[in-house]
Chains A and B, each alone.
Chain A
Amino acid sequence: MNYKKTLFFLTVSLGAVAIFVAVAGQIDYKWDGSRTTPVHQIPLKDEFNQNIIPTESYPLPYSTRYTCGLCHEYNKIHNGLHFNAASSDKHGRPGEPWVWVESKTGTVLPLSYRSWKGMWNPKELGLTPWNFTLLFGRHMPGGGVAEPEDVEPNPESRWNVSGSIEINCMGCHSASTKQSFSEWAKQILRQNFRWASTAASGMGEVWGMASRLPGTWDIFDGPNPDDTEWAVVPSVRYNLNSFDSKFRVFFDINNKPEDSRCLTCHSVSPVYLNKLDLDRDVHSTAGINCVDCHRNNINHNMIRGYEGETKESHNQQIADFSCVGCHTGKDSFKGTKTTAGRLGAPYPKHKGIPAVHFKKLSCTVCHSGPLLGKDLTRVRTSRANRLGIYGRAQWFTDFPHIVEPVFLKDQAGKITPHRLMWPAYWGRLKGEEISPLKPADVQAAAKGLLDVEEFIARILITFSQNTEIEGIPVLITSSKIYQPNADGGLDISPYSGEMLKAEILWAVKNNGKTTPLIPDFDPGAEEMEVEIETRIQKALEALETFREAPGKPALIYKNFIYQVSEGYLEVKQKQGETVEIPQWCWKKDNKILPLASEFQIRTVVATVGFEQSLTEEQVELVLKSMAEDTSSQKNQENGEFFYISSGKMFKLNGTGQLFASEHPAAEPVAWPLGHQVRPAQQSLGINGCTDCHKRRSAFFFNTVEGIGPLKTQNIALRSMYNFMGKDKAYQKLFGLSFLIRPVFKVILFISSLIIGSILLILYFKVLGRFSGIIEKRK
């Protein structure tokens, strides 16, 4: 049995070697006590752990896993707060969701891998990590769902082409002004996932687009010399000046990331505020950086700094960095002690503020967010509204419509200011179960009902192919000019020309002047002007190329119909009513259809130039279309379809009409806000109790309107007292009581003075009796 012993010995030896190699591969450097940051002049490693030689042809992008991971434990960092949303079971206080915004279908859907109230888990919607990364990779720091273990080719994803997004260490830790977030977003959009870090760091230029490569391509295939125009394989051209003779690169590192790095993804700004009016957080002004409070060690489990985090994490040290912990030396009202005054935090005296406020309100109620006004402040956030990406295109979105501060009770039962948005999505209701539909599925079911703006824009672009036209084709209706824009939609401007003979006019805009597409002519004339004839013919020929044409294009005027037949303009007598103004139309089976239907014109007028992108009519038609599809499949178990917007659920009733109702799924989604902290002089209550306690105070009686992509009068309205779970009548009465409070104080003072005086007299009398002075005087 000697071979068994040998086998056992070999197995043990191999195991020991494997463990040694694994441990040696990751050097756990312990801090030696020096407060300096070492110079990072290091070799670059690619994703195969090979040194990068920038002068080689087709060098690979650098890999943070191997370049940074040589000294810093990548796998520990990988479990940090910014990367563990999908893998951690510790979710903590709700934070900002990722918001899936799709304007055409009116989808504004809050998503989160963490189980936070009102937010949908991407898995529930059938969103794969690939889909999620494509949608939100622009503002993701890499790692987590963007770095899946399985990158094998499959029809659902293209990880094999794009590569995974490793943690973008330099996204936070770079001190270089070359670090570009816009470049990062651009590379993510091009599916150049594995190249994004290199491009964003400014170490090299990245060319090509992985999104254009076939799904079978992978990194070992290398560049395609046959295609240098379209499906160009991404490649890096390193900036050789960055490398030394040993091909080491100097990384301009900030051990503690600068605020601007955090603000790339965590900016929040009021929509209607000028940049020059924007103040910084009071802590920033005092020279404190984000990471001075939101600290972490190598595991990158950052301190979020909210009250109660200590309890959840069982780490008492965290308590030092909550507002209460740092400023008062206690981890909560009457709580255990913390190290007060770190970073020079002043002790707040809060003179005259009743103690009950500290029990029931979080610090941020009075100190954070915008100043409380008559209306709530609408804000845009980096991640939700796609801020901070600069370039030719306009990246930011109007939706989600986020407002703050909305006062709600947090998970600890304390009233806390929140940011709030109203979800909007299409879905299916089966019993009590809600299943949101993906925007792509909705568009397929809508059969063009939601593409109205693009439809009109495409018609106008089709007209512009007519070389006879000098200028930009536009649509004039309802005293507005609609003209196609670069995004495939329409821009709107007011029309101030002559009174129109028709409600809808297809026209041309040239040097600010608008003229009809076809000038007035006499259709009854024996010989038509050549110029007009050519113009009509060219326009009709252009319309023939329109892909979604429901029929053959034609122009009708008076009793004549003009069509192009075999390359010639054909004029025929038309039956029926006389048309007084030239009208473009489609002819299908002897039926005359307008170029754009009344529904399409109505919808464009109602939505273009407005934030709301849908009309009730559209919703009704789409719901009908969805219901018809379902019934045609004879699948009655699919439940009812609905659309949620503005805090209401819209469904079809028995007669096929749209009606709105309340539903828990339409309720707003909110998450607490921590910043920005205002100076003490601007805190709520600085002017006295009546900052909040008066008859119509903003604090209790401000109203939150349900705002969504649907243009409707059916909107949900909620008052602050609703959100706080307070009684309206009581708050009004309590507010009124502050009118008589000064009188009350005077009464108490006079009463106390009288009782005190009598007690003083009594005291002296008793004192006199005991000392015998009174007896002596007698």
Chain B
Amino acid sequence: MKKLLEMRSIYIEGLSEEKWYPIIKGIDLTLNRGEVLGLIGESGAGKSTLGIASMAYTRMGCRIRSGSIVFDGTELTEATAEELRTLRGRRIAYVAQSAAASFNPAHRLISQYSEGPVQHGIMSAEKAAGEAKQIYRHLLLPDPEFIGYRYPHQVSGGQLQRAMVAMAMACRPDLIIFDEPTTALDVTTQIEVLAAIKRIVREYNTAAIYITHDLAVVAQIADRIMVLRHGNLIEENSCREMIVAPKEEYTRRLLSVRAFDGAKDLDRKQDEVILDVRGVTASYTGNTNVVEDIDLAIKRGRTVALVGESGSGKSSLARVVTGLLPPVKGTIVFNGNRLSGELKRRTKAQLRSMQMIYQSPDTALNPKQKISKIIGRPLQFYFGLGAREREKRVLELLEKIELSAKYYDRTPMELSGGEKQRICIARALAAKPELIICDEVTSALDQLVAEGILKLLQNLQDELKVSYLFITHDLATVKAFSDEIVVMLKGRIVEQGPKEEVLVPPHHEYTDLLLSSVPEMDPDWLENLLGRRRKEGKISTVMDS
């Protein structure tokens, strides 16, 4: 096979506080024509930086210190800015993580598609528009003749991501860099985009670098995989071999993440219901209901997982339970007492016994406050503890969340994402709650870190008998962590029950769609799934939505 891209001993540095520190520490990367290479690793591994360096491009505050990048016989590190410009978009294209942010909001999709080929002098705008429609059709976008004339905000996330794949194909490049193209999408949407990418890459024999943190996703599409960590190459192998026989311990850990099983002792019967939501309907505008007719019960010391895609009303339901969104109809009974729908009419004790942990610990913690103050605040507010007692209790809580006492005087800025989320957990625990609402608490974290958080939550539950309402779109987490599952779709509950019942067929049609859409660590999974859905005639509902 002919070499398309060859990167040798690439060193890339980033600027932080006036100092250059290494991001990529001397990596070699070779890509053949028509080959798909998966770059995987956790955040901070340098996979995106390495991926876009193949276009001799670095983000603001980064620079390529040394190394050589040869693309189709041209040394890019010595190329002029103008030479690079004519290469980008025309021969090497880029697909970004968030299509919503990467499409210009001021222009129609099709003019953004045509811009590349027209500006590179490949074809006229009319011809480009014609080809755009063909590719839209090819990617199974609905209404391919006219969808291009919409603005980015007028189409859904999955459609936009496919439109971006189409845009990358506009000049028929030799290489496309896919930078986490499905990470921001729901599982069911992820499949559409993944299938679209796979089809187009194969059809046009385009080489690709596919960057992701999800091994199961990359397994569906890559011929070869490189595992990166802290800017170093950990392991490189063909996709199939890596999944069957990983050589390095780190790769093995990445592979085993999805196997996490919080097996726990459920033999003792637990009938005491702590939260009972009956017939709740709520609305933000008064016109359309975001949640409708919800019945939900959580038992003491148990975990109820609330599952659904974005926009299904999961977080709105949490807002109703916490009192942030007063319901239009229905009752909320907590610990045998009926709760007011309005936050300000709840007692302090009621507020105390229900705590919340959020998706993004970065925005949930005041970056300027010390950890002692963050965790100490609920101790002071709910229990009126004095300074000395507070210190003792904060240290106890730090121990509970498996962080050492030296974190006491730090600020969130000095902590990693996983550590910050642990602080959020400690803050919730400080109030001695009986129910904790966890809103996508692991979604913003790397898989290994997320696994640690889940284990911690499980240990805390075993010890403190606290109940969780666990909101997530990640079904792997649900399988591992929940006792009961509630599946929501468009503001309504479509299925609910104990985990064993919901996860075992027969499912509700939508639950089935959700479950079957979770990528598995099997390179043939996507093909098999699509084949199966096509046979069952379900493909249309997935692809045309």
Question: Are A and B bound to each other?
Answer: no
Spell out B's residues near A (CB within 8 Å).
Answer: none
